[in-house]
Structures are given as C-alpha cells and as structure tokens.
Amino acid sequence: MTFYDDRETLPADARERALLARLPGQIAHARASAPAFSRLLEDVDPDTIISREALATLPVTRKSELLEQQKAARPFGGFAAVGWGAACRRVFASPGPLYEPEGARPDYYRLARALHAAGFRAGDLVHNTFSYHFTPAGSMMETAAHALGCTVFPAGVGQTEQQLAAIVDLQPNAYVGTPSFLRILLEKADEAGLRPSFTKAFVSGEAFPPSVRDAFAARGIQAYQAYATADIGLIAYETPAREGLVVDEDILLEIVRPGTGDPVPEGEVGEVVVTTFNPDYPLIRFGTGDLSAVLPGASPCGRTNLRIKGWMGRADQTTKVKGMFVHPGQIADVVRRHAEIRRARLVVDNPDLNDRMTLMCEVAGGGSEALAAAVASSIRELTKLRGEVAFLPSGALANDGKVIDDVRVYN
C-alpha cells in the first residue's frame, strides 16, 4: 500500500506535537490578519495556546455567526486574511449566501490526499460532475486532481445525455461527484446500451451507505467518500480499510457538546469543530454544525491519524416552543448549574396539541424532589418556559448527539 506522504503514518504523539506546535503561530496570524479574530481573540495570548485544553477555552465560531458577520462586513465578515487580487483566485457562494475565498496555492482545499486514498493517480482522466458555478465543489475536486497529475473533464451537473456521449468518446476511468448522480449516469447508460468506462469513483455531498457502495463495486467501480466543507476543505476521508473516516493531516479536530464549546469524551457524539492552518482563511474553532464521533483505535490501512465515524446528522437542534426559540446552549447552561446531572436531553412533545418540554436527566442515585424543583426553576429562568424534569439512570440516553429531541406530531 502506498501513502500520499509520510505524515499519514506518523506516530500519533508525534503528529499531535507537530500540530500543537503550529497552533500559536496560526492564532497569532489570525489575530493580526483577520479583523474578526482580532476582536474575538483580543485577550488571548497565542503563546499560551499549546494544548487541546487551552484550545478548548477559545470561542467557537459557528456557520450562522459567520453568515451574520458577512452581512455586516462584506465580503468575508473579517474572517479572511486575503482580499481581491492575486492571493484570492476565486470567490464562491454557498447557500445563505455565505462567501468563501479560494487562495492561489495548489490543492487549496487539500483534497488530493483523499483522492489518493481512493486510488486516483497521475494519468487518470477524471469526469468531474460537481458544480462549477457559485459553489466551490467543482474547483475543490479539480484542483486536487491536478495536484495528483490527473486530467479533468469539467462535466458539471445535468445534461446527462451529453455527459454520456463524452464518457463514450473520452473513456474516463475515474468519476467525481455525488453518488446519486453516478447512479443516474449508470442507469441512463443501461437504457442506452452503453457501458461507462469508470473503474474508480470519489463521492461526497450525500450519504453513501454500504448498499450503494456495494452496488457500484458489483459494476467494477471502487468508490470512496470524503467529508469536506467549502469553509474548511477536507476534514476526513475514507480509506481502503472502510472503517470510519481518517482525519486530514492539516487540521485540528474536536468533538464538542452541541450548543457549547466543551469537548465530549471519546466516542460520544457531538458537533465537529475544526481549527484550520489555512493562512488565507484562518478559521479557529469553526463549528461545522455536523455531528460525528471519534472512532477509537487506528485504521487497519496503516494511517495513524484520528478517525471519526462520518456524518451523523446536524448539531443545530434549535426548536420553537410556544413561540419561543429554545437552543441547545440553553440546555447546556441548565446542566452546568446542577453538578448532579451527568447528561441531559430536552424532549419536546405535544399531547392534546399542547407543547410540553421535559428535561430527561441522567443522575446517579435517582435524583430527588428538591433537585427536580431546582432544575425546573433553572429551565424556567433560562428559557422563559415551563419544563418538566424526569430522572434516568446513567447511560440511559442514546449516544446520538441529541440535546433537543422534537417529537411533536400534528394531526
């Protein structure tokens, strides 16, 4: 087996030391070059942020906050260290709209590592069906393929018949895009009596269950997935081991309790928070809004970096009860007030079409009436709504990252 570079097989402690050694410099750069971080990190001494514990004391910037800041200060809300010119090759728009810069460095989004793990090599012809307008997905994949020495056909989305004609004429051996569009291309090819030339595929942007992966394999196409965002670039990627996703070598990844910046114990589901070492867009503790969990142990493929289980849902579980928004952060604040609570989840239902909130609390020893009254008082104070309290034994709540579970049914 070949690896993209030697870093993929570093001893875990050596990698951690190397990443943490880079951290103070990146924080200092963000403070000096990105006005938003000049404000957010004004009282932070970069030289003191040399551990994960110290990093966890810094504020989390979530995508919703990024959007608000961009509306107040165009184009990037003060989070970018580049402006128009040679240092900013392209600018993209994601839904919101949220604008992201693309710098001039090769493989800006660092996806070449993931393509390499998926078997892409120099000399491949890559049929890239990700969008080439507004969103960066097409460019993310193209720049990665170029870094590996591949040739790219910029197919983009839609125009299925024209795409099939190009596939027949050019015989690309590699596909990049969503798994659903690959399935559409294969079905249309079957209808037309054609046999696509793909032997490998790299998919993202959608769920990629084993059943779909196996269906592609049955047609001679080995497909791998990655988890990437327009803001961060590559976060984690699948390898031939097919056991979780291996974290990229150029980010620091944390899993935090939704609505907070507090890291969760290993294996517990929480929000993915990423610190990037990108000098152009130096996002520090960026909350992706996605749920995942750390997968213990090392990958059988030989790569030694941290692994995550993949995308497990969205962390933003804000809901509206009786006309009032209730946020995961408010529930976290309730829990912090009461040391007896190990974990908690707010369940919102509506018996007889009347909204009801019940805070399900894991408490050793079964709790007490006095604690229930105190917790109910905290709920009332922090949410401005009445809530009931129920006690559960430790470990009773599912490990799925839910802080607010809205189970209301409207008939």
Q: How confident is the model at residue 411 (pLDDT cuts 50, 70, 90)?
A: low
Q: Report the predicted TM-score, pTM, of the whole model to 2 decimal places.
A: 0.85
Per-residue pLDDT tens over the stretch 92-109: 998 778 899 999 999 999
Say yes or no to pLDDT of 128 above 90: yes
Residue 1: what pLDDT? 66
Segment 306-315 mean pLDDT:
88
Residue 327: what pLDDT? 83
Distance CA 315, CA 301 (A): 30
* Nearest partner of 176 among 149, 210, 203, 198, judged by Cα: 203
Tally of residues, the chain: 411
User: How many Cα neighbours within 13 Å face the side chain of 112?
Assistant: 19
Say yes or no to pLDDT of 300 above 70: yes
Per-residue pLDDT tens over the stretch 221-244: 999 999 999 999 999 999 999 999
* Nearest partner of 378 among 331, 314, 327, judged by Cα: 331
Is the preceding peptide bond at 196 cis, omega within 30 degrees of 0? Answer: no
Region for residue 15 given its phi and psi (left: phi exceeds 0; alpha: psi -120 to 50; beta: otherwise): alpha
DSSP letters along 39-76, please?
HHTTT--GGG--SHHHHTTSPPEEHHHHHHHHHHSTTT
User: Across-strand partners of 223?
Assistant: 201
* Nearest partner of 201 among 130, 135, 139, 147, judged by Cα: 130
Segment 275-300 mean pLDDT:
95
Per-residue pLDDT tens over the stretch 146-173: 999 999 999 998 899 999 999 999 999 9
Say yes or no to pLDDT of 317 above 90: no
